Structures are given as C-alpha cells and as structure tokens.
Amino acid sequence: MALAEAGARGRLLHWPRVLLFGDSITEYSFQENGWGAYLAERLVRKCDVVNRGISGYNTRWAKLILPRLITGSSSDDSIVAVTIFFGANDSALKDLNPKQHVPLEEYAANLKNMIQYLKSVGITADRIILITPPPLHESAWEKACLAKGDKLNRCNATTGEYAQACVQVARECGTDVLDLWTLMQKNQDFSSYLSDGLHLSTKGNSFLAAQLWSHLENKLSALPSLLPYWREVDHTNPEASLL
C-alpha cells in the first residue's frame, strides 16, 4: 500500500500533551536524570511532555508569553495537564536583584492571571498544577553568587512567603498544587536536594518527579497507550492493526 493511501485510510494520530511551564528549574528538567525527562519516559506511549521552561523568567514575564504558547486553537485541545512552576526568581531580593524580583502581591496576581487565561481557552482547573519554588539553601547559593561577583540575592524565608502565596492561589482558583518548599524541608537537611542552593540536584529532581507523578498519575491514568503493543500487531495484515 502506498504511503499516501495508508495515510488517507488511517486516522490522524493526536498525541496528548503535558506542558511544563516555568523558569530554569523547568528548562533544566530534560537534562540527564531531570524530573521532566522522568515524566517523558513514563508517558512516552501516552502523551508528549513538552518543556517550556525559560531560564531566569519570573511571573511578570511569564504571563505575557503564555498566550503565545497556548492559543486556544484546536491544536491545544490535546493538552491534558499544565504545570506552572515559578517563584524562585520572583522571590529574589528587590535591592539586590531588581530585574527578576516581583513583589509578593503581584506574584500571586500573576499566577491567578495565568490560571484564568488557561481556563479561558478551555483548560480546566483540574488539569493545572502549581508548583511552589523549592527551598533556598542560603550558604550554598551565597557561594554561587560570590563566584559571579554578586552578593547573596535571595533568602529562604522570603522564598517561603512566595511558596505560601502559591499554595493560597491554588486554593482560591481550585487548582492542584505541589508545595515543594514545605515537602523538601520535612527532611531537616534539604541541601542534598539542591545542586547550588537554588537549582535541583539529581536527588532533588528525583524527589520532584516522584511527588509530581503522584499528582499526575490519577489525571492521566485513563489515557490509553497509543498504537498497539508490537506483539498485538497482525504481521500478516498490519493495516488491520495500525490503520
């Protein structure tokens, strides 16, 4: 059978999508042992995991670009889950990092704005997961800052305020939330979860992947595997199985 004829006979395959939207902690999630790569591996036969992490971004900038990532067109109908993972940059101290800093009240408003936009294009609240920033290990991050000629420009207590605001927004908007800041600090020494005091280590990536999977598993459990297992394909008449 010619390829054109096969294409005409078969139904177009629509791969559902999970969209990961965030800052560098999301952008780096497809690196080796990254939490995004873990999700992609778990879901490879069910949906695509799309990385839209943008290093250095805060919610002020993120809310502007979200409509350029998800437009509400028919191509977005297949989005089955969206993670919104910001706050590590928003919570930077204003005096020492004014470019990335976003005031706490504006941070919360920006998260609400993004949730409202997603809802407006048909992505329901049950498909949205907010993720709080992880805790900050100040001494390790200070070393990273000093190596660049900067002063310590974040503190864990402030990051915690943004994490609490993120949790509150999720409550108000009816979305799911993963409170990474709190969960990681249940282990008294959370430094092993971080590579430089801010970004995730291999252990931190594994921790986030496991926690996030517990949220996603129920949402995505009903998704079928796309295309039959190879042993189930009729090798004498593959068209019957694959078209």
pLDDT digits (tens, 9 = 90+) for 180-197: 999 999 977 899 999 999
Which residues, in sequence order, are CB contacts of 208 under 8 Å at separation 6+? 35, 131, 134, 178, 180, 200
- Cα of 227 vs its chain's centroid, Å: 26
Q: Give the model's confidence band at 126: pLDDT under 50 very low, under 70 low, under 90 confident, else very high.
A: very high
Please report whether residue 5 resides in a domain: no
Tell whether pTM > 0.75. yes
Contact 170, 130 (CB under 8 A): yes
Please report whether residue 11 resides in a domain: no
Could you give the CA distance from residue 85 to residue 21 in angstroms, rounded to a whole number? 6
Q: Name the residues annotated as catalytic.
A: 24, 196, 199
Which range scores top for mean pLDDT: 75-79, 189-193, 222-226? 189-193
Q: Give the model's confidence band at 18: pLDDT under 50 very low, under 70 low, under 90 confident, else very high.
A: very high
Please report whether residue 64 resides in a domain: yes
Could you give the CA distance from residue 187 to residue 192 in angstroms, rounded to a whole number? 10
Where are the strands (E) in 132-179, listed by range?
176-178
Q: How many domains does the chain have?
A: 1
Please report whether residue 7 resides in a domain: no
| The predicted structure's pLDDT at residue 223 | 87
Could you give the CA distance from residue 3 to residue 127 in angstroms, rounded to a whole number? 36
Provide mean pLDDT across the span 160-188.
Answer: 96
- Residue 209, classified by CB atoms within 10 Å of its CB into exposed (0-12), middle (13-18) or buried (19+), is buried
| The predicted structure's pLDDT at residue 228 | 84
Please report whether residue 98 resides in a domain: yes
| The predicted structure's pLDDT at residue 4 | 54
Can you tell me whether residue 120 is helix, strand or coil? Answer: helix
pLDDT digits (tens, 9 = 90+) for 85-106: 999 999 999 999 999 999 999 9
Please report whether residue 6 resides in a domain: no
Residue 2 has pLDDT above 60, yes or no: no
| The predicted structure's pLDDT at residue 243 | 86
Q: Give the model's confidence band at 240: pLDDT under 50 very low, under 70 low, under 90 confident, else very high.
A: confident
Residue 43 has pLDDT above 90, yes or no: yes
Listed range (3-17, 20-34, 98-112) with the worst mean pLDDT: 3-17
Please report whether residue 8 resides in a domain: no
Contact 19, 82 (CB under 8 A): yes
Residue 234 has pLDDT above 90, yes or no: no
Query: Is the dihedral angle over the CA atoms 132, 133, 134, 135 positive or is it negative?
Result: negative
Could you give the CA distance from residue 145 to residue 234 in angstroms, rounded to a whole number? 60
Please report whether residue 2 resides in a domain: no
Q: Which domain holds residue 80?
A: 17-241
